[in-house]
Amino acid sequence: MAEKQQVTQTETDVNNGQVVNESLQKRTTEVKSTTDSKATAQNIVYYLLGVIEVLLGLRFVLKLLGANPGSGFVDFIYGLTGIFIAPFEAIFSTATTEGAETTSVFEPATLMAMAIYTLIAYGIVKLLTVNETR
């Protein structure tokens, strides 16, 4: 009779262990999916920031070098990035230098926009990771 009781207890321990393992697997899966979705959201934010920063950096260099605004590519970049620098245009005045063939423009609004968008992206990513420390 003692042997039967021992076998029954071993089966119960195995079943309890299995239930505990399944419960842990469910929790692990939930944590992984939450972490994966946060990492994906962070990657999207950084990707968008990278695209905006590259476009704004290209605008800054083109303006500084006095690129021809009549060129299709230059006009496309200026048109595309105009919306991103619009809130910052009145903060500082632009400096222009007349050259023999081109007019170089130093546009601080572009640099200010790049800095502010970087801070905004960093803030969004930090907000996504607020609950990870708990």
Q: What number is the average pLDDT over the span 112-120?
A: 97
Q: What confidence score (pLDDT) does residue 101 get? A: 86
Nearest by Cα to 103 from 52, 69, 55: 69
**Per-residue pLDDT tens for 22-77?**
665 665 555 555 668 888 999 999 999 999 999 999 999 999 999 999 999 999 99
Q: How far apart are CA 64 and CA 5, in angstroms?
A: 87
Instruction: Provide the residue type at 19 as one letter.
Output: V
Please, which pLDDT band fits residue 11 given cuts at 50, 70 and 90?
Answer: very low
pTM above 0.75, yes or no: no
Please, which pLDDT band fits residue 89 given cuts at 50, 70 and 90?
Answer: very high
Instruction: Provide the residue type at 104 as one letter.
Output: S
